Amino acid sequence: MAKNKHGGKKPEQVDDSFGSVLQVGPGFRLADLDPAATPGFSGKKKDAEKAMDAARDEIDDLQERLYAGGRDGDGPAILLVVQGMDTSGKGGVMRHVVGTVDPQGVRLHAFKAPSVEERRHPFLWRIRRELPPPGYIGVFDRSHYEDVLVVRVHDLVPPATWRRRYDQINSFERSANDRGIHLIKVMLHISSGEQKARLQERLDRPDKYWKFNPGDIDERERWDDYQQAYQAVFDKTSTEQNPWYAVPADHKWYARLAVQQLLLEELRGLDLHWPGPDFDVAEQQRRLAAT
Amino acid sequence: MAKNKHGGKKPEQVDDSFGSVLQVGPGFRLADLDPAATPGFSGKKKDAEKAMDAARDEIDDLQERLYAGGRDGDGPAILLVVQGMDTSGKGGVMRHVVGTVDPQGVRLHAFKAPSVEERRHPFLWRIRRELPPPGYIGVFDRSHYEDVLVVRVHDLVPPATWRRRYDQINSFERSANDRGIHLIKVMLHISSGEQKARLQERLDRPDKYWKFNPGDIDERERWDDYQQAYQAVFDKTSTEQNPWYAVPADHKWYARLAVQQLLLEELRGLDLHWPGPDFDVAEQQRRLAAT
């Protein structure tokens, strides 16, 4: 644990580390997770906002150390992978969690349906190119997991192909670890009823029309298939080294706090120090004084 | 001017638009601009912070409209170009101005010394690739202007080559305008004394060592050459269509406010509206209700 001036204090309503309560372990059933729950946090919306504000300085400090450590081309990086059904709040996490981190140290990439060129390559090709360099916090809004989610639900490749991908993903992620990349894999879990309400809002408010796509309802009709596909993702790719975190997301304020705290806990665990000078400080002070 | 719910109100200490007071017009002399001045603003640090906070909701709203308008592959984009001597506060602008904008709508690129591959191409090749798509706010931390600044000061190419570049830049920027890209070109202007103090701080504080490079002092020794090269940039590339803004930057709080307000004024000028639906709203409402 990094010992910095912030001392790693938990907000008072936080009962335990978010990592330990949200981690997907053996036997985890997505169907049993209440999307309206707030595991590990006994506060309300206002408390969550205060807790998020309170964490900002520490994240700022740790992120800058991370970035500084990457300057010479090694040192660790973080990759935050965010998955979830339409309207589950991925955009809000980008805006309200990722958006509070210094943009100079962030590499955010939103994966859309693959282009013609991307489809000519193995599915991990376009993912590998977006991995964060040392010192950066990479953020994936959707990811390689779409290749075993939408692809599986819609039979976009033969079953034998997507079945192989779970192992390929595990070994890809281990190779990312070997390069110093620490993954935080987050699934925002909403209820079907909450999704309906959020889609309804996009159809009711002219300033939200642009976020709506008739295809969202097609996907909604496959709700159960997607839940099954997510369960398979958890069963096969929540490993000890690269676990998933299942975040109840019917309360946007809880999901944002949880993702922020997962990021903070990961940063703390890196034990980040300021790099020493690679020059003679006294000599440079003399040179500067002479100008 | 966009008429939105925020009404485009100026903070009270803002005397006039920042664009009009900071714009580099004919006869402008950089040497005559006081780096400690706060043109157009009669407040102090605290007032500037309040003014920045007060502008955030409006920027949020306008940025989201800009982004929404880019969804169908056309619509305008913004490109904020930030130049300035070492320690002039480019990083602070990235962190405190760009960092308050939704990261999903921002494309930030820091240009370093060109790579071997980049040097094989014309100087604008790597710049063109980073132009923002419709709907985005592109941000350049350094830019194509380095090709008539550091390159000119250090004779990295023959004089005939860099002399041609001013016209090439003007025509490149006009072609970006034709693609809907609105440029905001900002030069952060610090005094030599302020730079000395900021470099000194990097040598005094172990948490700042990583920001220091002995080369910064080499560059500092060419201070006058750089000031001349910036003057030439203003003389030749501050056009009516793509003007420069010279921002006094000895007060970090002023420079950040000024850049934020320049961005806000540009966004207001785009007269941004929410795009209409490209689907039948009533039909989609019926479909959703049936799920």
Angle, CA of B64, B94 and B121, to the nearest 5°: 95
B59 to chain A, minimum CA–CA distance in Å?
Answer: 13
In chain A, residues with a C-beta closer than 8 Å to the C-beta of B68 are: 210-211
Which tokens is A142 given?
Answer: 């959707």
In chain A, residues with a C-beta closer than 8 Å to the C-beta of B203 are: 281, 284-285, 288
Tens of pLDDT along chain A (291 residues)?
Answer: 333 445 455 566 666 799 999 999 999 999 999 999 999 999 999 999 999 999 999 999 999 999 999 988 889 999 999 999 999 999 999 999 999 999 999 999 999 999 999 999 999 999 999 999 999 999 999 999 999 999 999 999 999 999 999 999 999 999 999 999 999 999 999 999 999 999 999 999 999 999 999 999 999 999 999 999 999 999 999 999 999 999 999 999 999 999 999 999 999 999 999 999 999 999 999 999 999
Has residue B11 got a pLDDT over 70?
A: no
Element (H, E) at A246: strand A244-248
A207 to chain B, minimum CA–CA distance in Å?
Answer: 6
- What is the pTM (predicted TM-score) of this model? 0.94
Q: Distance between CA B286 and CA A116 in Å, rounded?
A: 34
- Which of A102, A214, A279 minimises the CB distance to B99? A102
Which tokens is B192 given?
Answer: 């030599």
Given pLDDT bands bounded at 50, 70 and 90, which one contains residue B73? Answer: confident
A 159-198: CB under 8 A from B = 196
A 211-230: CB under 8 A from B = 211-214, 217, 220-221
A203 to chain B, minimum CA–CA distance in Å?
Answer: 6
Mean pLDDT along residues B81-86: 98
User: At a CB cut-off of 8 Å and minimum separation 6, what does B230 contact?
Assistant: B30, B83, B149, B187
Q: What residue has token string 């335990």?
A: A16
> A107 - beta bridge partners?
A138
pLDDT of residue B9: 55
Mutate to test the interface with A, among B71, B203, B219, B274 (most CBs of A within 10 A): B203
User: At a CB cut-off of 8 Å and minimum separation 6, what does A222 contact?
Assistant: A153, A154
Contact present, B132 and B67 (Cβ < 8 Å): no
In chain A, residues with a C-beta closer than 8 Å to the C-beta of B102 are: 94-95, 99
Please tell me what DSSP assigns to residue A23: B
pLDDT in tens, B125-177: 999 999 999 999 999 999 999 999 999 999 999 999 999 999 999 999 999 99
pLDDT in tens, B218-236: 999 999 999 999 999 999 9
Instruction: Report the SS3 class of residue A163.
Output: helix
Q: Is A94 on the interface with B (CB under 8 A)?
A: yes
Q: Distance between CA B188 and CA B88 in Å, rounded?
A: 6
Q: What residue has token string 């008539």?
A: B148
Q: Distance between CA B195 and CA B84 in Å, rounded?
A: 11
Phi, psi of A140 (to 5 degrees): -105, 120
Q: Hey, how many other C-beta atoms are within 10 angstroms of the C-beta on A27?
A: 7
